[in-house]
Amino acid sequence: MTKSRIAAVDVGNDSIKAIFGEFDNELNIPNIVARDTEDRPVIGIEELDTKDPLDGIHIRVHSPALKENNAIYRVGNLATKSDNATELDPGSSKSEEDQTLVMLFATLALDAVNEENAKLFPKSKNVIDANYTLGTGLPLREVKEGKDAGYRSKLVGSVHQVEFLVTPKYQGLKVNIKFDEVKVYPEGFAAYINLVMDNNLKIINKDLIDRRILIQDIGGLSTDIAVIKNRNVDDDKAQGFNLGVSEALEQIREEIRSKHGVELDSRTDVVEIITRKNDRNHIMVKGSRTSVHDITDRILLELAKKQYRLLRNVWAKNSQTEICYFVGGGATVLKEYIKTLNNNLDGYNIEFFEDEKESIWMMANAYYKLIMDYVKKSEKSKAASEPVKS
């Protein structure tokens, strides 16, 4: 009997954040894929196994859940170097995209082949059988449309196989992934859980527990605003919007290419330029340090105004709100612009997470708390129903 391993996976539009087991493994992979051929050229093939697998994810994915089955992909950092790399487009539904599943399966397979899990999953020749209990989530809009049930049904009851092709350390290995259970949570609810509870779902933030709160989660392709009242998400008032930071990042990338002739590999590169501690909003042009403040400020301020308008509209409909928390990778990118707008305009009681990692990993942490709680309750229930041995 294969033991089931806990996996909490946030398939973010910018990157995948995943937590495994007893918090013993974390993975963060850019959400970028590129279709590829089986034999990708590698310079210095004999050095392949000295490289980091995360920089060379090259896989074939077989799954009945995919529209395009048995396709070969470069994933993450490797995909950024391809001319045909794809990132999720604005307006797309996360639950219906092959890319979401490819990234999810690739992330789980990378955990399964980790040598520290050798005793956990059986291996026959070059095939590993891995069972997972998965906690993940979808944007509020998609959950309200009932797409969570369809997404879950794609995952459970089937075997999904990831074959590592020209990947450092793992070339030739295959991973058969099965799900013992899949829980799909609305992202706004998950953010609230993370704010007020620890890993054992004990309340750690009593000041927030009975307050009326908004949580504005700004992602790559969408923004969710959860309305928290009486310790629950108000499903009727919670709203999801097709407005994220991806389009703005793409615009910045395009203008940098057009004005300075500098080609950035992906949106992740743009995020790095606008959020890093040193030399923020600067790039190297022909070896010279060059400011791109004029481009980033104009585009990001325009997006911040749109996000602020969403806040204003939702707050107007929930006038007794006491505080709004901004979370997610998009909030990290827009933080200073939204703060400035708020200071100059309405002066709402708003809060950002100064710890950028905490904000970016908030969903994965929340899914971890929720799926761990589910597992503990299931084990307790099972133990209680078993007959007592005399």
47 phi/psi in degrees, rounded to 5: -95, 5
Question: Which domain does 44 fall in, by range?
Answer: 4-188+363-378
Is 306 part of any domain?
A: no
Give the integer Cα–Cα distance in Å for 223 and 151. Answer: 20
| Reported pTM | 0.86
Is 199 part of any domain?
A: no
Measured CA distances, 370 to 231, 331, 364, 373, 376 (Å): 15, 23, 10, 5, 10
pLDDT in tens, 54-102: 999 999 999 999 999 999 999 999 998 888 888 777 667 889 999 999 9
Residue whose C-alpha is closest to residue 88's, from 249, 241, 204: 249
| Two structure tokens written together for 32 | 């970028």
Residue whose C-alpha is closest to residue 255's, from 274, 239, 240: 274
Residue whose C-alpha is closest to residue 178's, from 126, 137, 122: 122
- Say how many domains are in the chain: 1
Rama region for 381: left / alpha / beta (φ>0; ψ in -120 to 50; rest): alpha
Is 283 part of any domain?
A: no
Measured CA distances, 225 to 149, 193, 219 (Å): 21, 14, 11
Give the list of residues 6+ apart from residue 20 with CB closer than 8 angstroms, or none.
Answer: 5, 6, 7, 8, 26, 27, 111
Amino acid identity of residue 30, one-letter, is P
Burial class (CB in 10 A: 0-12, 13-18, 19+), 375: middle
Residue whose C-alpha is closest to residue 103's, from 184, 167, 14: 14
Q: What is the DSSP letter of 235?
A: T
User: What does the chain come to in residues?
Assistant: 390
334 phi/psi in degrees, rounded to 5: -100, 0
Is 153 part of any domain?
A: yes
**CATH of residue 94:** 3.30.420.40
Is 215 part of any domain?
A: no
Is 144 part of any domain?
A: yes
Q: What is the pLDDT along the chain (390 residues), one digit of tens a residue?
A: 468 999 999 998 888 999 999 888 999 999 999 998 877 766 555 467 778 999 999 999 999 999 999 999 999 999 988 888 887 776 678 899 999 999 999 999 999 999 888 889 999 999 999 999 999 999 888 888 899 999 999 999 899 999 999 899 999 999 999 999 999 998 777 777 877 887 777 877 777 777 888 999 888 888 888 888 877 777 778 788 888 898 999 999 999 999 999 988 888 889 889 988 888 889 999 999 999 999 999 999 999 999 999 999 999 999 999 999 998 888 889 999 999 999 999 899 999 876 777 778 888 998 999 999 899 888 888 777 776 554
pLDDT in tens, 344-373: 998 999 998 767 777 788 889 989 999 998
Is 161 part of any domain?
A: yes
Is 233 part of any domain?
A: no
